[in-house]
Structure 1
Amino acid sequence: MNYNIRGENIEVTPALREYVEKKIGKLEKYFNHTPDANVHVNLKVYHDKTSKVEVTIPMPNLVLRAEERKDDMYAAIDTITDKLERQIRKHKTKVNRKFRTNGSTAELFAPVAVEEQAEPVVEEEDHELEIVRNKRFDLKPMDSEEAILQMNLLGHNFFVYTNAETNKTNVVYKRKDGRYGLIEPN
């Protein structure tokens, strides 16, 4: 696994880096091609001395992401590892139910290169319409059920994907009543 560990208001010491790599390295058993898997870790300390850990692991059919805030940085790292492992197990269970006759699901956890790029935006007088971040990613073919699973794993309220049947871009979203909606082009 390739680790990208960043610290905000904290110096990432060799001991802290080693602890992160050791704990998150336990997830390697779930990956098919571990040497190429990218792990993005952001360690942050706030003025009130609370610690926040964010981990993102992009893969072809899934983006594992978790964050945890605690008083102790090491406790946050332990908790976030458990969260990521639960996400992987939950995803594997759902996918296994769907693909029992299609063989191994190991390729679902192969690594992928995700390009994320923040571009500066020309300031306008109306700040309400200002774009402050730009993300680029590959849309993976899937059905709406898998897209909803991805959305929930990421903790977002919408998810853009390519419909595997129609090969068109669709959007699933969480409605205020707790159910889900689907936006399809004509």
Structure 2
Amino acid sequence: MQDAGTVQVTVSGKNVQVTPALRSHAERKVNKLLKFFDDDRRPMMASVVLSIERGRHTAEITFEIGTLLVRGEGTSDDMYASIDMAVDRIERQVKKFKTRIQKRLQERPKGAVADGAVPPAAEAEETEGETPRVVRVKRFALKPMTVEEAVLQMELLGHDFFVFTNGASGEVNVLYRRKDGNYGLIEPEY
């Protein structure tokens, strides 16, 4: 069981041995992110992956609080500096996120998430000789969450859409940002 006020940190290495000093530095730096979540009692976890490739030291940190994910990466000639850079990037994202959420909550009209709203079908422009192709496939685990949590996660990631499992219905939903700045929610019928 995790103590309130701490982050469960997992540190691993690729092509690098994780020394006790590196592990301690990573844990100490990640735990400094708690200042942004001092009133939050949700479980907090962080995965720190340290790697060395072609002489470049990289630290990739994934910080998870409840259903929200924040990622930061730092690369330099020194692993300690790379860890610091990754944590600094996460800190900037969290500050920006909190500011955006506070601003949206102040400006958002009631009912900003449209019920059952589906965007009009976009007309596809066909370029002669060019066939659009899938250039990236992304697989991820869907976590049950509320629509409000999905909005927060989408904002945090800076995406225009977000796929999630609706905790109330257990169904897969798609949340998207509308041109008017509000949100739409797609609830597929099977």
- What is the TM-score when the length of structure 1 is the normalising length? 0.62
Q: Which residue of 2 aligns with 1:169?
A: 173
Q: Are the equivalent residues in 1 in contact too, given 2:60–2:72 (CA < 8 A)?
A: yes
Give 2:81's aligned amino acid: A
Partner SS state of residue 12, structure 2: strand
Residues 161-180 of structure 1 show CA distances to partners (whole Å, capped at 9, x for unaligned) of 4689x99711438xxxxxxx
Deviation beyond 6 Å, 4+ runs, structure 1: none
CA RMSD across the alignment: 3.8
Residue of structure 2 equivalent to 1:29: 35
Which residue number in structure 1 is paired with residue 81 of structure 2? Answer: 75
Higher helix share: 1
| C-alpha separation in 2, matches of 1:24 and 1:35 | 16
2:101 corresponds in structure 1 to 95
Task: State the AA in 2 paired with 1:52.
Answer: T
Spell out, residue by residue over 1:47-77, the C-alpha distance to the aligned partner (whole angstroms, 9 max, x if none).
Answer: x111111111112352111122222211111
TM-score, length-normalised on structure 2? 0.61
Q: Percent identity?
A: 29
Structure 2 counterpart of 1:111:
none
Aligned residues: 148
- Shift of residue 183, structure 1, vs aligned partner: 7.2
Q: Which has the larger radius of gyration?
A: 2
1:159 aligns with 2:162: yes
Indicate if the aligned counterparts of 2:68 and 2:152 stay in contact, CA closer than 8 A.
no
Q: For structure 2, which runs of at least 5 residues remain unmatched after alignment?
A: 1-6, 107-133, 178-182
CA distance in 1, matches of 2:68, 2:35: 16
Determine the structure 2 residue equivalent to 1:45: 52
Counterpart residue type for residue 99 of structure 2? T
Letter in 2 for 1:159: F
Between stretches 67-76 and 91-100, larger displacement belongs to 91-100
Q: Structure 1 CA distance, aligned partners of 2:144 and 2:151?
A: 19
Look up the equivalent residue of 2:51 and give its one-letter code.
K
Distance 1:7 1:21, change over 3 A: same
Deviations 1:17-37 (A, max 9, x none): 111112222112112357942
Provide the C-alpha distance between the structure 1 equivalents of 2:44 and 2:139, rounded to a whole number of angstroms: 24
Give yes or no for contact 1:2–1:35 (8 Å, CA) kept in 2: no
Q: Which position in structure 1 is the counterpart of 2:70?
A: 64
Q: How far apart, in 1, do the equivalents of 2:153 and 2:32 lie?
A: 27
